[in-house]
Structure 1
Amino acid sequence: MSQEEFNYSFEIIQQQIQTLESYIVEHSMQQQTVEALESLATSMKNLEFFKEEMQANLKLMQLLEEELLQHNEKIIAECKVYHDLFKFAPNAYLVTNAEGIILEINYTAAALLNLLPSLLIGKSLINFVSKQERPFLLRKFKQSLNVKSVQELEVSICPRGGQAFDALLLVKPGRATSGALGALQISLHNITKYKQLAVPQQVPSLSTPVAKPNGLDGLRVLFVDDEADTRELIAAVLMQHGVEVTTVATVAEALEELERSRPDVIISDIRMPDEDGYALIRKIKALEAEKGWQIPTAALTAYLGEDRTKALNAGFQSHLHKLAAPTELIAMVAQLAGRG
């Protein structure tokens, strides 16, 4: 029974008692009936007290419900903070199950594997390991679920379309963000250069060419794309090579950024809502004519059928597919900036 129904029934009973009392007075009924009505009136008072107690308890329950909702909102906010810390961490992190199926992955780890995070969820990390090492890694993953300490595993990782590298995996059992047990929390590190340093090197002679240091340190790149995953992935790849990256989602935001500073290179997606990459390149050319700038620009597309010739004729100096290997992206940026 709802509170409104209880109140209505209570009022009906009170009205009936009052009617009976009037009837008794008018017809001088026996004393026994009068006592019974008085007893009923007492019971009604008790019911009224019970009603007031119920209302007080209802208010208390409402207060508790509000506190629980506030507490739940706080927990959700805290979970989002930790999820964002994981997602945008400079180190490569991922969460898998015992079979190596990727449950969660951050942008830095996705950049090492050279795929968008959304394309890696549900895929097996084992597939990115050299074939001869796959049984070993799968066995170690299953063993790690029953080991409390952090396990150090060294394997060779083969990113999509990229060059294989020596990787150190720090693996510990834990939970996924969803709270599910049976997950493995993995920190992924590219240790190729450290292993190369450990190998004795010959002292170069005067005639031996010496390798040049990374020439992209401090290079400023403006990247325009309406997809957040792509912005973060490309930024992660470029920042690994010392590039300072500014990402924006629209042509309007790109032009606002160009009012504040001049980048060394601009990379833009072609197909974007509202204004596309061709609209951007037209406005960049107009801005260059106004300010006397010359900013190298490249078109980055997700469609294999995108017309490369059309992009170059529109004013872009270069064109690359979004799923190209990181080495191709870095080479293109270096060439555009004259630091190849």
Structure 2
Amino acid sequence: MSKEEFTYSFKKNLQQIQELEKYIMQLPGQQAIAALKAVTASIENLEVFKEEMQTTLEVMKDVQEKLLQQNETIIAECKIYHDLFEFAPNAYLFTDAKGIVIKINNAAAALLNVLPNLLIGKSLISFVSKKDRLLFLTKLKQSLNVNSVQEWEISICPLEGQAFDAILLVKPGRETSRGLDVLQICVHDITKYKQLAASQQIPALSAPMEKPNGLDGLRVLFVDDEADSRELIAAVLMQHGVVVTTVTTVTEALLEVERSRPDVILSDIRMPDEDGYALIKKIRALEAQKGWQIPAGAITAYLAEDRAKAIKAGFQSHLHKLAEPKELIAMVAQLAGRSEK
């Protein structure tokens, strides 16, 4: 009920009570007195109720304004990470277990010579050369059972374009909002490297591509209930050679920590059920039992989140989700004790 509807209803009820009061005045003696007392008490209770409702409406208005502000912050955050994914210089895409494209950025679409929106729902295998399709299908089936970044070398045939040799960095994941197993794929065109090696202008590469920094192979566990945040932060880290495992709950995170003991843990603070503070408390308790020391960083979408509170709770670092990607990489490198380059 809105404030206007409540005011109208209150006035209508008050008018009815006044009419009832006039009727009571016509009753004999003690009946009239008793009835008037009851009506008076009802009016007083109605006045108290009106004040309580007005207070509640004001509180609801404040809550609504705060929710709107938080929603604006979340929208701004999503836009930043969406733009980061869309306009990243490296080619990224997400497929399901059958190789159907779920998400793709501009760089990947440019490699395939097709507009991004036209690739959603299409099979990536249609862009794989015929000689490599059987290998590609086999690796697709195997990939979801391997919890690490895999490197596939295949030949890709863009639409109405020249085929090129590519390295695919493939990491399995889980899209919990859709209940899908997904593959996070980064595509690198290595044609020029192979051509230079063949012409003996440079030595043949022992590895298909040079990693861009000193984070290669670092194992990071990222905990966040928001699918977009998980995918985009994972994409940033994977671009720097990090092996990322994403989970959505504290329970899943604890199971993963015991199973694989990651090098670094990153966690969102605000999550339903159990939050990031509950997670770090349980992680530190587990470390005490196991004799481990796993550095952890807190990540938050809320501008007012208290950094001091996060550090006191047991995190070593704290970063806002709106921070630049280079700040995220710097934080992870610092937690891991590695150089960014």
So what's the TM-score if we normalise by structure 2?
0.51
Verify the 8 A CA contact 2:96 2:182 in the aligned structure 1.
Answer: yes
Query: Equivalents in 2 of 1:105, 1:42: separation in Å?
Result: 68
CA distances 1:238-267 after superposition (whole Å, capped 9, x unpaired): xxxxxxxxxxxxxxxxxxxxxxxxxxxxxx
Q: Tell me the CA shift for residue 129 of structure 1.
A: 0.8
- Aligned pair 1:6/2:5, yes or no? no
Question: Residue type of the partner of 1:12?
Answer: Q
Structure 1 residue 120 and structure 2 residue 123: aligned?
A: no
Conserved? CA contact 2:21–2:39, under 8 Å: no
Cα separation, 2, equivalents of 1:102 and 1:170: 15
Q: 5+ unaligned residues in a row in structure 1: which ranges?
A: 204-340
Secondary structure at the counterpart of residue 182 of structure 1: strand
**Which is higher, the Rg of structure 1 or of structure 2?**
1
Distance 1:6 1:146, change over 3 A: farther
Aligned twin of 1:89: 88
Q: Which runs of 5+ in 2 are unaligned?
A: 203-341
The residue that corresponds to 1:166 in the other structure is 165
The aligned runs of 1:4-83 (5 Å cut-off) are 4-20=7-23, 22-23=25-26, 29-83=28-82
Aligned to 2:189: 190
Cα 1:146–1:31 change in 2 (3 A) is farther
User: In structure 1, what is the Cα distance between the partners aligned to 2:165 and 2:199?
Assistant: 18
Q: Secondary structure at the match of 2:147?
A: coil
Provide, for residues 13-53 of structure 1, a one-character-per-residue CA deviation record: whole Å limited to 9, x for no partner.
Answer: 331244246445xxxx2224312320231122112211211
What is the Cα-based RMSD across aligned positions, in Å? 2.9
| Amino acid paired to 1:8 | K
Q: Letter of the aligned partner of 1:117 in structure 2?
A: P
| Residue-by-residue CA offset, 1:309-339 (whole Å, 9 max, x unaligned) | xxxxxxxxxxxxxxxxxxxxxxxxxxxxxxx
Task: In structure 2, give the amino acid aligned to 1:11.
Answer: L
Matches within 5 A, 1:93-242: 93-174=92-173, 181-199=180-198, 201=200
Q: Is the 8 A contact 1:175 1:185 kept in 2?
A: no
* Equivalence for 1:318: none
Instruction: Provide Cα deviations, 1:152-185, integer angstroms capped at 9, x if missing partner.
Output: 2221111223222221111223467987743322
Q: Secondary structure at the match of 1:169?
A: strand
How far off is 1:188 after superposition? Answer: 0.3
Please tell me whether the aligned partners of residues 152 and 168 of structure 2 are also in contact (alpha carbons under 8 angstroms): yes
> Equivalents in 1 of 2:145, 2:66: separation in Å?
39
Q: Percent identity?
A: 58
Instruction: Sort the Cα spacing of 1:144 and 1:33 in 2 relative to 1 into closer, same or farther, 3 A.
Output: farther
| TM-superposed deviation, 1:126 | 0.6
Distance 2:138 2:65 in 1: 49
State the distance in 1 between where 2:34 and 2:161 align: 97
Shift of 1:140: 2.5
Distance of aligned partners of 1:51 and 1:142 in 2 relative to their CA distance in 1, 3 Å threshold: farther
Residue correspondence of structure 1 range 250-329 to structure 2 within 5 A: none
Task: Report SS of the residue matched to 2:139.
Answer: helix
Structure 1 pair 68–170 and aligned structure 2 pair: CA distance change class (3 A): same
The residue identity in structure 1 corresponding to 2:82 is H
Structure-1 separation of matches of 2:38 and 2:163? 91
* 8 A Cα contact 1:94 1:185, kept in partner: yes
Tell me the distance in 1 between the aligned counterparts of 2:71 and 2:143.
33
Q: 1:202 to 1:64 in 2, by over 3 A?
A: closer
> 1:177 and 1:194 mapped to 2: Cα distance?
38
Change (3 A) 1:71 1:136: same
The CA deviation at 1:81 is 1.4
Distance 1:179 1:65 in 2: 29
Aligned length: 199
Runs ≥4 residues deviating over 6 A: 175-180
What code does the residue aligned with 2:78 have? C
Could you tell me how far 1:202 is from its partner in structure 2? 8.7
SS at match of 2:80: helix
Say which SS state the counterpart of residue 122 (structure 1) adopts.
coil
